Amino acid sequence: MPRTALIVDDSASIREMVAFTLREAGFAVLEGVHGADGLEKLGEQRVELIITDLNMPVMDGLTFIRQVRTRPANRYTPILMLTTESQPEKKQQGKAAGATGWVVKPFHPMKLLEVIGKVLP
């Protein structure tokens, strides 16, 4: 049974690239185009990893993370922020919202998998 990851990003190309990287590593992948869509896709699914962008329309990454953390099933699910933003204060906001880690784009597929290996139980 493959592990499932949820990717939330308003950029179709980034979703495609992250999905490609994760599928190559054996993950099943769910995709959301913004935070609200991500929550909908999450539904009652069992997800072992979430990767989300910060700046998105409808619902941004920070709000999405806060919402995810209110769900008992996802309280400890690793959540990586994958964003072009690298300001320390933004990172602090991400950490406060419940993110597990912060990865600045552009990402390298192998390095992203290394980071995922570190945060997955």
Partner 1 sequence: MKSLRKLFAWASAGKRALRDIPGCLAVLPVLRAQLHETSQQVEEAVVGVCGNFTGIAARARRAVAQTAELLGGDQQDSDATVERSIETSRLTIAGLLERVERAGQMSSLVISSMQEIEATAVGIESLLSEVQRIAFLNKIVALNAKIEAVHVGQLGSGFEVVADEISRQSARSDELAEGIGDRIGQMRERVRSAAANLRECVAQDRAKLDESRHNADTALTLLWSLHQKARECLSRMTGENQSLADDISSAVVALQFQDRVKQRVAHVMSVLQSVEGVLGSEVGSEAARPERAIPTPALVAEMHAAYSMEAERSVMNRPAVQSAPASSDMEVELF
Number of residues this chain uses to bind partner 1 (CB under 8 A): 37
Q: Binding of partner 1 at residue 69 (CB under 8 A)?
A: no
Judged by CB under 8 A, the stretch of 26-34, 42-50, 64-72, 110-118 that binds partner 1 is 110-118
**Which tokens go with 88?**
């320390």
List alpha helices for 2-121, DSSP H: 12-24, 35-42, 61-69, 88-97, 109-119
Q: Binding of partner 1 at residue 74 (CB under 8 A)?
A: no
Contact 79, 68 (CB under 8 A): yes
Q: Binding of partner 1 at residue 63 (CB under 8 A)?
A: no
**Which tokens go with 65?**
């993370």
Question: Judged by CB, which is closer to partner 1: 46, or 120?
Answer: 120
